[in-house]
Structure 1
Amino acid sequence: MAVQCSLELAKDSCCDDDGRQIRTGTYWTCIAHIITAVIGSGVLSLAWSIGQLGWIAGPISMLCFAIVTYVSSFLLSDSYRSPHPVTGTRNYTYMDAVKVNLGKKQTWVCGLLQYLSMYGTGIAYVITTSTSMRAIQRSNCFHREGHQASCAYGDSFYMLLFGAIQIVCSQIPNFHNMEWLSIVAAIMSFSYSSIGLALGFAKVIGNGRIKGSIAGVSTDTAAQKVWTVSQALGDIAFAYPYSIILIEIQDTLKSPPPENQTMKKASMTAIFITTFFYLCCGCFGYAAFGDQTPGNLLTGFGFYEPYWLIDFANACIVLHLVGGYQVFSQPVFAFTERWLSEKFPNNGFVNKFHSIKIPLLPAFRMNLLRLCFRTAYVLSTTGLALLFPYFNQVLGVLGALNFWPLAIYFPVEMYFVQKRIEPWTEKWVVLRTFSVVCLVVTMVALVGSVEGLISAKLR
């Protein structure tokens, strides 16, 4: 539920050009939001992904996904305003942009895929956070009892604990109140990525050689190799695109300069930074462990010491994903609550706010719909994570589902409409070919990841 200014105050300093609360986002806060969204649980699976693809195909695949992500963000950032990317009317969400440019039918498809992807990302973050919490406990156990000790702990308690934390955090009203959380989360992501990089580098130095091969991890059959390569592509696809929340991030930016210019610059910087960390973490992780590279670099226990550094890195992951969960959940909350508010404008449960004063804290405005819906949302993601606690496989499925339709198809189609690009022109052929190639990669990744999830569930 966006904060609205009255029409009379629309030109006042507290209101933006559309009558909404003035936007204060900058180039740097935009980078923080992007990094919070991009450097998430996906970075921890990249060493495993490079291991499946090998020393040539792995890094090349990662660079290709980085380029594709930038092209996607470049195309999509111009769709924030319509019909003109600088002076047009604002589109507050990805779905708004699709509706204006492509029509109502495609909007329903986009909305289903977008919110399904965000919901799935929340499930993945519950799994990842619980794995990191458990890893802290196991690390201390290995330090006390030796590396051969069983140190077996379950995930359920930590998933429930993370869910309880998110029930509280989910009462943050909207994206515009989350700058501080994204900045903290971005700092945490840099911290654990740097630790993973440093530990991998130290392990390579300690080994005295670079492990791994051009062909990647060997498998018993060719079919198994196809499945693992497909799943690795899905994991990389999950690690990169943030198209599903790009418009929402862009809607936090102040103007001037034009929002699309700030977003393009921030995207370039954020993708460069994340790609550097991804390549370093992935390559050094594979170089350190070779065929034994764990699915999750910091919780697979290739690293045991220094145990306190492993603990700190996993604590950083937990703190980051507390913010990351909200970055992907807030657009779902905003859409649902806005739709219900428009559907039931006179319903007190939906629209009435109650002011609550907590000692030592500012007054908090509570809405019963917000409290009930957001709590149920967090409980459902936590419940599904308990049913499917398979890190790499879940990331692969989510990456494949999200990659082509949301990061490629809709941005390309909206660009065609907004720029009035005629069929069979040079630009049309290039972008259409780009879209088809990405579709093929998505299908391969999806099939392999679904097979991996089914196999893991049956084991």
Structure 2
Amino acid sequence: MGENGAAKNHQSLGAYPPFDVSINLGQNQTLGGSKCYDDDGRLKRTGNVWTASAHIITAVIGSGVLSLAWAIAQLGWVAGPVVMFLFSFVIYYTSSLLADCYRSGDPVTGKRNYTYMDAVRANLGGVKVKICGFIQYLNLFGVAVGYTIAASISMLAIRRANCFHEKGHRNPCHSSSTPYMIIFGITEIVFSQIPDFDQIWWLSIVAAVMSFTYSSIGLTLGIVQTVANGGFKGSLTGISIGTVTQTQKIWRSFQAFGDIAFAYSYSIILIEIQDTIKAPPSEAKTMKKATLLSVAVTTAFYILCGCMGYAAFGDAAPGNLLTGFGFYNPFWLLDIANAAIVIHLVGAYQVYCQPLFAFVEKWALERWPESDFIAKEYRIRLLPGTSRRCFYGVNLFRLVWRTAFVVVTTIISMLLPFFNDVVGFLGALGFWPLTVYFPVEMYISQKKIPKWSTTWVCLQTLSIACLVISVAAAAGSIAGVVLDLKVYRPFKTEY
């Protein structure tokens, strides 16, 4: 069987007809034409505006919301909200450009691009495909590390809050984040065995609910703290020189751009989300509605959470908003919020990593199509005596590769558990190339916009401005990591 056949059949990995005890992926080529399958041989897509919005909100309202109060504290009451609105506009605009790239040619009947890389290959081609793939999958890998760190911080916060409640606030209640990273990693190993992206819609909905839960609690506690303070803290220009040095002020301001960019970042999985949407209407039309709804909702939440957090703490706003309220009463409410963060991050980890999992598995299948280790799917009946449809498919390569991936991200998280700095760097790494540059270039190519026309100049100006922001944010985050490494000792430092 040729590479095209192998690739086509791999696209429906984990979603096969209910027959045979085991199936070799290379033998299942005639799935199209059934009412259970779309015209490309994949299972019928069932997504809509609401499921797509759930995927986006799961990806967007993530751990990034926790660092927004700190980001606004670096920029102040004027620049902070303005920068957040500008980022939301750029994200929505470029996401709309990217949504049009799901199909090549006709927006209704054109060839589907299943992944971000497929869209770049169809519209740009050449070396840009490899560059895009490297940046995208490096960013997805980094997000997995960032989410592992964030989840461990929240689990550690629950442990310390309960310790203070039982033993009193004079007890230091020191603990390491390492055991909690291991717990999170084991959980992700289990969930990573879900075969493909379309089958985790329920996990996205649960995660989206959890994201609203902890964001709402953080917002409420910020309002209560502000009322208790007797007014708003903070200043128009942010943290003042004296509290930090002039150099630190500059680096922190740059890092704040990265934190805000990370909080909005989801373009790297937009095409994969769009590939779950049913048609008609066209997938692009549905995706644009979901993007508008999701970005509007998340921006409202971000402005409220970031501003109320800054109002509550002023220049002392913490890198993680929920840890800033201390571990005092109501400790149970903070426990709920941090538990919601952990549940949300379990789902968000999968939303981000499934495209990377699928890419590696597709590549392996094309390279070794006859290998049973890579191609064969073993069917395990979930419950004895149940319908033949109630089974779970086990693929040995998927089991080994995804487990190894989670183990590696967990180990790296243990070595670099710096939430704020890692978040800022990831935001900088992915913002310009994946959120701005490639969508703009694909749109120019697709619409055949003449060089040096007004539209072309405006799009290129937007791209260059965002490049400058990304470089500055990366520099600020790297400076923060260097400072943290001076005092951190891997596997030994306790909080």
Distance in 2 between residues matched to 1:302 and 1:234, nearest whole Å:
26
Counterpart for residue 11 of structure 2 = 2
Q: 1:349 to 1:431 in 2, by over 3 A?
A: same
Partner of 1:89: 111
Aligned to 2:180: 158
Q: 2:75 aligns with which of 53, 56, 60?
A: 53
Note if contact 1:80-1:90 (Cα within 8 Å) is conserved in structure 2: yes
2:230 is matched with which residue? Answer: 208
Tell me what 1:335 maps to: 359
| Corresponding residue of 1:393 | 421
Q: Secondary structure at the match of 2:290?
A: helix
- Determine whether 1:364 maps to 2:373: no
SS of the residue 1:56 aligns to: helix
1:326 is matched with 350
Whether 1:23 aligns to 2:23 is: no
- How far does residue 149 in structure 1 lie from its aligned partner after superposition? 3.1
Are residues 283 and 303 of structure 1, via their aligned partners in 2, closer, same or farther at CA, if it must alter by over 3 Å? farther
Counterpart for residue 291 of structure 2: 267
Tell me the residue number matched to 1:66. Answer: 88
Residue-by-residue CA offset, 1:368-394 (whole Å, 9 max, x unaligned): 100000000000000000000000000
Deviation at 1:398, TM superposition (A): 0.5
Where do 5+ consecutive residues of structure 1 fail to align?
Answer: none
Q: Distance in 2 between matches of 1:2 and 1:169?
A: 20
* Aligned equivalent of 2:58: 36
Residue identity matched to 1:192? Y
Looking at structure 2, the residues matched to 180 and 84 of structure 1 have their Cα atoms a distance apart, in angstroms, of 31
Residue 358 of structure 1 and its aligned partner are, at CA, apart by 4.1
Q: What is the deviation of 1:359?
A: 4.0
- Whole-angstrom distance in 2 between the partners of 1:234 and 1:454: 16
User: Is the alpha carbon distance of 1:262 and 1:296 closer, same or farther for their aligned partners in structure 2, counting shifts above 3 Å?
Assistant: same
Normalised to the residue count of structure 1, the TM-score between the two structures is 0.98
1:226, 1:147 → 2: CA distance?
A: 36
Partner SS state of residue 234, structure 2 = coil
**Secondary structure of 1:177 counterpart:** helix
Separation in 2 of the partners of 1:8 and 1:293?
Answer: 58
Secondary structure of the residue aligned to 2:129 is helix
Letter in 1 for 2:432: W
- Structure 1 segment 230-245 matched on structure 2, within 5 A: 230-245=254-269
The letter of the residue matching 2:126 is K
Matched residues, number: 459
1:247 match: 271
2:138 aligned with 1:116, yes or no?
Answer: yes
Give the aligned residue type for 2:136: Q
Q: Hey, what does 1:276 align to over in structure 2?
A: 300
- In structure 2, the partner of 1:169 is 191
Q: CA deviation at 1:151?
A: 1.7
Deviates more, 1:147-156 or 1:399-408: 147-156
The amino acid that maps onto 1:436 is I
Residue 315 in 1 paired to residue 315 in 2? no
Cα 1:8–1:448 shift into 2, 3 Å:
closer
What residue is the counterpart of 1:355 in the other structure?
Answer: 379
Distance (whole Å) between structure 2 residues aligned to residue 22 and residue 413 of structure 1: 31
User: 2:74, 2:238 within 8 Å by CA — same for their partners in 1?
Assistant: yes
In structure 1, the residue corresponding to 2:378 is in which secondary structure? strand
> After superposition, where does 1:373-392 map in structure 2 within 5 Å?
373-392=401-420
Contact between 1:289 and 1:302, CA under 8 Å: does it hold in 2? no
Amino acid at match of 1:216: G
1:285 corresponds in structure 2 to 309
CA distance in 2, matches of 1:104, 1:163: 37
* Shift of residue 142, structure 1, vs aligned partner: 2.1
Measured after TM superposition, the shift of residue 86 of structure 1 is 2.9
Give the structure-2-normalised TM-score. 0.91
Tell me if structure 1 keeps the 8 A contact 2:164–2:327: no
Give how far 1:8 is off.
5.5
Q: What is the alpha-carbon distance in structure 1 between the residues aligned to residue 133 and residue 84 of structure 2?
A: 28
**Equivalent of 1:187 in 203, 209, 222:** 209
Q: Which amino acid aligns with 2:278?
A: K
Residue 346 (structure 1) aligns with: 370
Distance in 2 (CA, whole Å) between partners of 1:28 and 1:198 is: 26
Per-residue CA deviations over 1:267-309 (Å, capped at 9, x if unaligned) read: 0000000011111110000100112111101124446321110
Is residue 436 of structure 2 the alignment partner of residue 408 of structure 1?
yes
SS at match of 2:323: coil
CA distance in 2, matches of 1:57, 1:302: 27
Query: Which residue of structure 2 lines up, in the alignment, with residue 125 of structure 1?
Result: 147
In 1, Cα distance between equivalents of 2:190 and 2:166: 35
Gaps of 5+ in 2: 1-9, 17-27, 488-495
Are the counterparts in 2 of residues 46 and 235 from structure 1 also a CA contact under 8 Å? yes
Change (3 A) 1:64 1:245: same
Q: Give the direction of change, closer, same or farther, for the CA distance of 1:9–1:152 in structure 2 (3 Å limit).
A: closer
| Counterpart Cα distance in 1 of 2:352 and 2:70 | 25
Q: Is the contact between residue 31 and residue 266 of structure 1 (CA under 8 Å) also seen in structure 2? A: yes
Give the 3-state SS of the residue equivalent to 1:355 in structure 2: strand
Deviation readout 1:224-252 (Å, 9 max, x if unpaired): 10011011111111100211000000000
Give the match for residue 100 of structure 1: 122
Q: Alignment partner of 1:143: what SS?
A: helix
Q: Secondary structure at the match of 1:172?
A: coil
The alignment-based identity, stated in percent, is 56
Report the equivalent of 1:295.
Answer: 319
C-alpha deviations, 1:400-437, integer Å up to 9, x for none? 00000000000000000100100111111111111011
**SS where residue 92 of structure 2 aligns?**
helix
What SS is found at the alignment partner of 2:188? helix
Q: CA RMSD in A?
A: 1.4
Provide closer, same or farther for how the CA distance between residues 8 and 324 of structure 1 changes in structure 2, counting only shifts above 3 A.
closer
Letter in 2 for 1:3: S
Deviates more, 1:68-77 or 1:300-309: 300-309
3-state SS of paired residue (1:356)? strand
Determine if contact 1:124/1:385 at 8 Å carries over to the other structure.
Answer: yes
